[in-house]
Structure formats: C-alpha cells, structure tokens
C-alpha cells in the first residue's frame, strides 16, 4: 500500500475485476487519480462505471485486483476511508418529508469534525430553502443539496455519479461551475458521467469504460488529438441520391447517414476529394463543412456505440 | 452518540410528519377507545366471559395496544425499510461512517417511542373517559410491551427485507395486517370466536402479543407460552432477515 501524499495518487486501482454471476461487470481496470484533478469516468449505461467506483468507495468488494484510496484499502479500512471522502450517488434520494436543514444536520452528525451547515446552505444557495421538504425541491436544488451533503465532512476526495442527469442545460452548466469551485478549493473530484460534453468541459483526464474495460484514458484534448488523424465532413443534398460510390473515394473510411445529412469520415485532403467527387457525379451539396472532433467522436470510435441512443 | 441522537430525532419527526402513519398510530386507537367505550362501556357485569372484576374496555385495551404495535412496528416499519432501500437512502448512509447498529438502535427507539405514545394516549383516554382499570402489573407490562414491539418489529424488518419494492411491501403488509388484527384478538375478542377459529389463531404472532399484554393487565401474570412463541418468531425472523437483507 502506498502513501497517497508521496505518489500524488489519491486513488490507485490495479487490475480491478468484479463479476456478478455470469456477468463480468468490471474487467482488468487500472487507473490512478491524482491529487487535485477532476477525473472523469465515462461510458454507456451498464458499462461498469458505477461498479468500478463502488469498489473504490468501499461499497463492494472486488473479486480481484487492488484498490487504494488515500493510501488505504476501501474495503478493509472502510470507516477510515468513508470519513475522508464525500459522495453523491446516482439514484440515492432522501426521504420525501425531510427538510433541507434537517438533512444537512443529520449527515453532519455522522462525522467528527463537520462543516458549518448554515455556511454550506448559504454557499450552495439553499439558505432560502432550509425548511423546504426534499420532495418540494427542484431538480437543481436537489443536486445542490446532494453536493452540500457530499461536502459536509470537508472531504479530500469527492465522487459525483451522474451529477447533472435530469437537469436542464442551464442548471447543468451552473453545476459545472460548482464542481470547478470544489476543485479550486483543493478537493480531488471523480466525476462519473455519460455526458461527453460534461467530461470535455470539466475533466483534466477521462477514462472511457466500455464492457467493463477501460478503452481509452487521457486528457480530453489528448483523446481528441489522437483522433484528429481521422476527419469528418458533413453535407446535405437537396434531394436523395445514390451515394454508394462515396465509400470508394480515396481516403474515405466510413459514410454515415444521420438525420438526413451525410457524414463522411476519412483521412488526407478529405474535403477537396469529396467535393470533387460530388461535382463529378453532378451533385451540389448544401452546407458542406468540416466538423471539429469532439469527445463524443472519440467515444464512438473507441466503443463503437452512441452514448445517448 | 451525536449520530444516534440526530438520527433518532430526525426519524421520529419524519414518522410523525407522515399523516397516514401518525393517524394510524396516535389518533385512530383513541377513536376506537371512544367508539367501543361508548358502545360497550366498562361495566364488569356486561361481560359474558370470565374476567372477574374487569370490564370490556379493560380486556379490550391490551388488544388496542397490540393494534398500535402492529400498525407501527409491522405495517409502517416494513414499508419504510423497503422505501429506504428502494430510494437509495440506505445506500447513501452506507457511504458515510454511520454504522448499521446505530441505525438499528435509532429505529428501535423511534418505533418504541411512537408506539408507547400511541398506547399511552389510548390508555389515558380510556381511563379518563370510561374508567379503564390500571394494569395489575405495570412494570411487567412495560417489559412485555418492549418485548412485543421488538418481536413485531423483527417481522416488519423481515417483510421489508423480502419485499422487492416499497409498493410490494405496502401491499403485502396490508394483506397480512388486516386479517391479523381481526383474528388475533386485537379488534375482536377471541372469546367470541368459534372454537376451531380460536384454536387456529394461535399460529399468529399478534395473538400472543394480545395474550401477553392482556394477562399482565388483568393480573394473570406472565403467559410463558406466548412469551416463548414471540421469542421464537423473533429468532426466526431475524435469522431470515440477516440472510436476505440487501441494502439496495
């Protein structure tokens, strides 16, 4: 077991494996989370993200492999680890009739040296909702309460599992700001999400998990850069035409028809070649353009499936 | 210690804030005392079966206490446990340093507390309004009340553990609860039942709660058979719950 401070590895996961009956939920997963970073774990539903972090949080015992959190084993030193981490869980609601202030006071009582709950209420914009029942909170307010609860013990490490799922875009962006604030205060953040845009905006590094395995791990920019050798152009035709020949144009890897527009993936001087070939076939596309590679594209390329079907 | 107190206090408030459970535990038993007290009174001469100097309400009050125990510790507890599991509240607790024994002790305190409050209310109303006799063995009665509540709680925990969802727990709870309160003597004196039915009700745990409390109330002492049966139910329910309980 290594000391978290000397290595900078707040979390160290080595060859983690977890099996449920016949299903291999997590298979040979290894990653480190560094002090002070926002580390993203992304993947489609059922990819094994939640199982992986549940092993890290000490909720589940791995079948094999090693997990170290803040230099401790989260299964055998569960109580020590739980004192120093903060957690927001996916699908973990509070009782409908509990009041915001009561929930914070309750969770504060579980720790030896909790934060000042009235200061937390103010910090997370909940001071006006102190006496509101949990069930009467808006989606954004519930998420802010979950964040406040996760921070009630001044954690060195916080886990956010699908923090912004169910929020409207505005509330989502506001929540991103809050996560940046948490990191700015020195707390390491592990963010599990299925929103690529969220991972791209927030995370210092991202692990893409699919079928229980890590298929890519790098900074969002690094992941995108590794993909840039493949380009993508998109165009729309005024009326449908047979485009079977398009796949045979030099440099084209793949042609996809998406919502009436055509996306062409390939390499080399792709735009010129496709435009020329279209002209030769007597076709005049509208809005022919080159698209920027996003983390969503990286995801699609590494997992072969859409994140949001 | 602070966690235990805070959890107990919060859970007590949540219990009383839920109108249906607060009504069933605290208000409805008082209504029953008022109704049955007005209809049957508490004159020993009006009772057909042999209870000496005790009237109808004296024999009926222990049954109502059993009703309060079944309402809180079986019906409400099972649904509440299944809800906490289904909504992920237990899951959320388990990523904090809060230990399961603290949760157990807090819940026991809350359910004993609200049940004792409901029982006290109906006894006070019965005594003031209809001359309900004081229990013959109050200390033993208090012990029997605790044992009974713990025993019925173990059955509530069992149902809450095996039920796949909160709705299933509630439906099964209702389906068990209503026959239970009418067959156990909590609502209808078992002395009025045909012999075969009266014999059959011995399989019900709540029958033994009624018997235990009734005997101590009217000075017949501890019914050791009922005490043993309740202990047996508790051991079996706890053993199964420990095996099947899932926190999510």
Q: Does B2 touch chain A (CB under 8 A)?
A: yes
Q: Is the pLDDT of residue A128 over 90?
A: yes
The residue of B18, B92, B110 whose CB has the most chain A CBs within 10 angstroms, and thus the best one to mutate to test that interface, is B92
With beta carbons less than 8 A apart as the criterion, state whether A104 and A120 touch: yes
Tens-digit pLDDT profile for residues A171-191: 888 889 989 999 999 999 999
**Torsion, Cα of B116, B120, B122, B126 (10° steps):** 150
Sort B153 into a burial class: Cβ within 10 Å, 0-12 / 13-18 / 19+: buried
The answer to whether the Cα torsion of A51, A52, A56, A57 is positive or negative is: negative
The residue of B22, B97, B100 whose CB has the most chain A CBs within 10 angstroms, and thus the best one to mutate to test that interface, is B97
**Torsion, Cα of A105, A111, A117, A123 (10° steps):** -130
* Helix, strand, coil shares, percent, chain A, to 5: 35, 30, 35
Q: Which of A89, A105, A109 sits opposite B95 (nearest CB)?
A: A89
Closest listed residue to residue B189, CA positions, set B21, B54, B77: B54
- Neighbouring CB atoms inside 10 A of B242's CB total 11
Domain region containing B96: 2-244
With beta carbons less than 8 A apart as the criterion, state whether B110 and B11 touch: yes
Answer left, alpha or beta for residue B16, where phi above 0 means left and psi between -120 and 50 means alpha: alpha
Answer left, alpha or beta for residue A292, where phi above 0 means left and psi between -120 and 50 means alpha: beta
Q: How many CB pairs under 8 A join A and B?
A: 62
A91 to chain B: nearest residue by CA?
B88
Q: Which of B5, B14, B88 sits opposite A91 (nearest CB)?
A: B88
Band of residue A2 on the pLDDT scale cut at 50, 70, 90? very low
User: In the numeric block, which tokens belong to residue A90?
Assistant: 């996916």
> Which pLDDT does position A308 carry in this prediction?
46
If you average pLDDT over every residue of chain A, what do you get? 88
Tens-digit pLDDT profile for residues B76-91: 999 999 999 999 999 9
B82 to chain A: nearest residue by CA?
A95
> Which pLDDT does position B214 carry in this prediction?
93
Record: contact A105-B6, CB cut-off 8 A: yes
> Which pLDDT does position B51 carry in this prediction?
64
> Which pLDDT does position A140 carry in this prediction?
87
> Which pLDDT does position B138 carry in this prediction?
95
> Do the interacting molecules here have an ipTM over 0.85?
yes
**A89 chain-B contacts, CB cut-off 8 A:** 88, 91-92, 95
Q: Which helix (H) or strand (E) holds B151?
A: helix B138-162
Residues 6+ apart with CB under 8 A from B226: B207, B208, B209, B211, B212, B215
Q: What's the total number of domains in chain B?
A: 1
Q: pTM for the complete prediction?
A: 0.84
Q: Chain B: nearest CA to A178, how far in angstroms?
A: 21
Tens-digit pLDDT profile for residues B202-237: 999 999 999 999 999 998 999 999 999 999 999 999
Between CA A111 and CA A114, with CA A113 as vertex, the angle to 5 degrees is 70
Q: Which of A89, A105, A111 sits opposite B92 (nearest CB)?
A: A89
Q: Which of A94, A97, A106 sits opposite B7 (nearest CB)?
A: A106
Q: Chain A: nearest CA to B16, how far in angstroms?
A: 10
């Amino acid at each position: 077991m290594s000391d978290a401070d000397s290595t900078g590895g707040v979390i160290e996961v080595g060859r983690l494996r977890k099996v449920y009956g016949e299903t291999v939920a997590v298979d040979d997963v290894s990653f480190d989370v560094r002090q002070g970073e926002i580390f993203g774990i992304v993947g489609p539903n059922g990819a094994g993200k939640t199982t992986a972090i549940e092993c890290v949080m000490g909720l589940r015992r791995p079948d094999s492999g090693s997990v170290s959190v803040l230099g401790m084993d989260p299964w055998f030193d569960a109580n020590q680890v739980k004192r120093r981490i903060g957690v927001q869980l996916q699908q973990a609601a509070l009782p409908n009739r509990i009041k915001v202030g009561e929930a914070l006071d309750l969770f504060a009582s579980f720790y030896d040296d909790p934060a000042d709950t009235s200061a937390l209420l103010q910090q997370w914009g909940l001071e006006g909702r102190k006496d509101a029942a949990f069930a009467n909170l808006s989606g954004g307010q519930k998420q802010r309460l979950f964040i406040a609860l996760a921070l009630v013990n001044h954690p060195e490490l916080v886990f956010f599992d699908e923090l912004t799922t169910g929020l409207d875009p505005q509330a989502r962006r506001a929540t991103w700001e809050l996560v940046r604030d948490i990191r700015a205060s020195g707390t390491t953040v592990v963010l599990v999400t299925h929103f690529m845009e969220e991972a791209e905006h927030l995370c210092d590094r991202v692990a893409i998990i699919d079928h229980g395995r890590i298929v890519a791990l790098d900074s969002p920019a690094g992941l995108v850069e590794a993909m840039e050798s493949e380009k993508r152009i998109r165009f729309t035709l005024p009326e449908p035409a047979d485009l079977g020949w398009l796949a045979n144009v030099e440099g084209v890897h793949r042609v996809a028809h998406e919502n009436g527009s055509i996306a062409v993936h390939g390499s080399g001087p792709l735009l010129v070649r496709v435009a020329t070939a279209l002209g030769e076939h007597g076709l005049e596309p509208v809005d022919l353009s080159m698209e920027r590679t996003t983390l969503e594209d990286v995801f699609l390329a590494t997992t072969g499936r859409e994140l949001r079907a | 210690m602070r966690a235990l107190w805070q959890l107990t206090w919060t859970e007590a408030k949540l219990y009383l804030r839920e109108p249906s459970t607060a009504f069933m535990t605290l208000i409805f038993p008082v209504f029953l005392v008022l109704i049955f007290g007005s209809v049957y009174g508490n004159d020993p001469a009006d009772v057909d079966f042999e209870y000496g100097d005790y009237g109808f309400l004296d024999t009926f009050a222990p049954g109502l206490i059993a009703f309060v125990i079944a309402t809180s510790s079986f019906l409400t507890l099972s649904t509440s446990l299944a809800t906490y599991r289904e909504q992920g509240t237990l899951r959320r607790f388990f990523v904090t340093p809060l230990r399961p024994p603290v949760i157990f002790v807090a819940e026991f305190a809350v359910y004993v507390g609200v049940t004792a409050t409901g029982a006290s209310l109906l006894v006070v109303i019965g005594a003031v309004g209809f001359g309900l006799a004081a229990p013959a063995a109050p200390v033993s009665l208090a012990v029997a009340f605790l044992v009974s509540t713990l025993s019925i709680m173990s059955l509530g925990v069992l149902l809450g553990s095996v039920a796949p969802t909160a709705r299933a727990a509630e439906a099964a709870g209702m389906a068990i609860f209503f026959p239970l309160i009418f067959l156990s003597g909590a609502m209808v004196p078992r002395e009025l039942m045909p012999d075969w039915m009266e014999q059959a009700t011995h399989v019900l745990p709540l029958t033994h709660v009624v018997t235990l409390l009734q005997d101590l109330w009217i000075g017949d002492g501890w019914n050791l058979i009922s005490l043993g049966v309740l202990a047996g139910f508790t051991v079996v329910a706890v053993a199964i719950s420990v095996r099947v309980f899932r926190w999510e």
